[in-house]
Amino acid sequence: MKKGFTLVEALIAVGLFSILVGVAWGGFTNALRTQREITAMISVQSNANLILEQMAREMRTGYLFCHLPGSNTPDGGDGACARACTVENGGAWQCDNLIAFFSATPQEVQYRLENGTIKREIGGSGNFDPVTSDNVDVRHLSFYLQGQTEGDNWTPRITISMEVSPSSTYLTPGYNTVLDLQTTVSARAIDCTSGPTASC
């Protein structure tokens, strides 16, 4: 006489198997989602660090930060930097989303935040080219300036602070992890004269 499974035993076995497969599949999909999110965050951090280094390198040899040539008024070619900056206690300036300065070339350089992308303009051309990749969403960008006033005999010091996260097109809805990055750079020269041909 051959022995087999009863209908009840088969139903119980199929039910347990379905539960185990469901648990395993849920864990597998969560692991894939987590891996994708980690990969996206690594990519975002790499790109953001690269941009921070680029800005810091250019500012290290720059001068007349957020400055209107010929005066002590901050500017951005069109006065945008003046509108972006507020004076904090102690005389430091906080400039949100925009900074303008003269590079070592010398040309006016602007960095600004527009729609989650950091853009760069050279020489007052009006052409702002993106410097962050499309998988990066920059949520906040601030520049804190100290010692940038012409004739104060202080070396300008700029602290760059930014919040970044992966772009929503690269992640599942509801993902809300943000990286806070910050660096401080000191310019090599003391601001002593104004104008794009200044030599400090």
* Mean pLDDT computed over every residue of the chain: 79
The string of pLDDT tens digits covering residues 102-146 is: 888 878 888 999 999 999 988 777 889 999 988 889 999 999 988
Candidates 83, 65, 35, 60; CA nearest to 194 is: 65
d(CA 79, CA 100): 10
Instruction: Give me 160's structure tokens.
Output: 């760059």
Q: Decide which of 10 and 179 is more confident.
A: 179
d(CA 64, CA 82): 13
Mean pLDDT check: name the lowest of 50-54, 58-62, 164-168. Answer: 164-168
Candidates 35, 78, 12, 43; CA nearest to 179 is: 43
The per-residue pLDDT for 111 is: 92
